[in-house]
Amino acid sequence: MRSQFNSPIIVLGARFLAPYIMVFGLYVIFHGHYSPGGGFQGGALLAAAILLIRVATGRRVSRLQLKEFATTPLAVIGVVIYFATGLTAMIAGGYFLDYGQLPIPGMDPVWLRYTGILIIEVGVGLAVTAILVMIFDNMVKGEDYA
Amino acid sequence: MKYLKALIMVAFAVLLIYAASDLPYRGDPDNRMNQERSMINTPVAGSYYIEHAYHDAHTPNIVTVVLGDYRGVDTFGEQIVIFTAGMITMLVLRRSRRRNS
């Protein structure tokens, strides 16, 4: 992305809008038990907030926000959260992804399943955010060097 | 050739409309998807989800329970698909950059 917008209106608009989109994305992830939403949708909204800053202000500012090399480890962490949750339940004596067996003391299996769904939603949201930003970064980089 | 394409599209549209006219009416309680037992008299999974989702996971949103709990392995596969897509873009686009420079 060699050319970037020099208009302060666009930069200001993006700066104004991005935090609210990000908060709404977090709301969609964590409120997915009660309203439509979940990891995929909330992750897409978080990625939209990050990509808005990237498109509007160019590479120098977006480096301060989420560095390009940080996206791949974040995606891997998101997948590993999901897999580790399932594997922990399996080690604790249940089936794979049987959240009722998670070893968290002081909770009955019903609330353990509630918590397990929340944990995997966070993992899915993290992975989706990182992957969407990573796709954008790679396409922009390929455009620059081609 | 242009007329052939248009003819194929019209024929496909007619086929789809003819197939859609055979769909059951929406909201009819006698539809097969609303039955508690299937054609071969086995219980349908959907009625189990509707009856037991809140008691199993204390989550009012049935869709979240189905996606996250009952079909968790399926959601894990979807996440792997997205992860693979990101990895593929990384492999394709970054390698082409190195070869050109």
Does residue B64 belong to the interface with chain A, where contact is any CB pair within 8 Å?
Answer: yes
Residue B101 has pLDDT above 60, yes or no: no
- What is the CB neighbour count within 10 angstroms for residue B15? 10
Per-residue confidence band for B99, with pLDDT thresholds at 50, 70 and 90: low
Residue B18 has pLDDT above 70, yes or no: yes
**B-proximal residues of A, 24-43, CB under 8 Å:** 32-36, 38, 40
pLDDT at B96: 54
Q: Cβ neighbours of residue A39 under 8 Å, at least 6 residues apart?
A: A29, A32, A120, A121, A122, A123, A124, A125, A128
pLDDT at B95: 60
Task: Enumerate the residues of chain B whose CB falls inside 8 A of the CB of residue A78.
Answer: 79
Task: Enumerate the residues of chain A whose CB falls inside 8 A of the CB of residue B93.
Answer: 138-139, 141-142
pLDDT at B98: 53
> Taking CB atoms and an 8 Å limit, are A141 and B68 in contact across chains?
no
Condensed to tens digits (0 to 9), the pLDDT of residues A65-98 reads 888 888 899 999 999 999 999 999 898 888 888 8
> Taking CB atoms and an 8 Å limit, are B100 and A146 in contact across chains?
yes
Range scoring the smallest mean pLDDT among A23-37, B27-41, B44-58: B27-41
Per-residue confidence band for A144, with pLDDT thresholds at 50, 70 and 90: low
Q: Give me the percent of chain A exceeding a pLDDT of 70.
A: 93
pLDDT at B6: 95
Torsion of CA A91, A93, A97, A101, to 10 degrees: -110
pLDDT at B1: 86
Does residue A47 belong to the interface with chain B, where contact is any CB pair within 8 Å?
Answer: no
- Pairwise CA distance, residues A16 & A19, whole Å: 7
Choose, out of A33, A90, A98, A140, the residue to mutate when testing the contact with B (most B CBs < 10 Å). Answer: A33
pLDDT at A143: 65
- Pairwise CA distance, residues A83 & A80, whole Å: 5
**Coil, strand or helix: which one is B37?**
strand
**Coil, strand or helix: which one is B43?**
strand
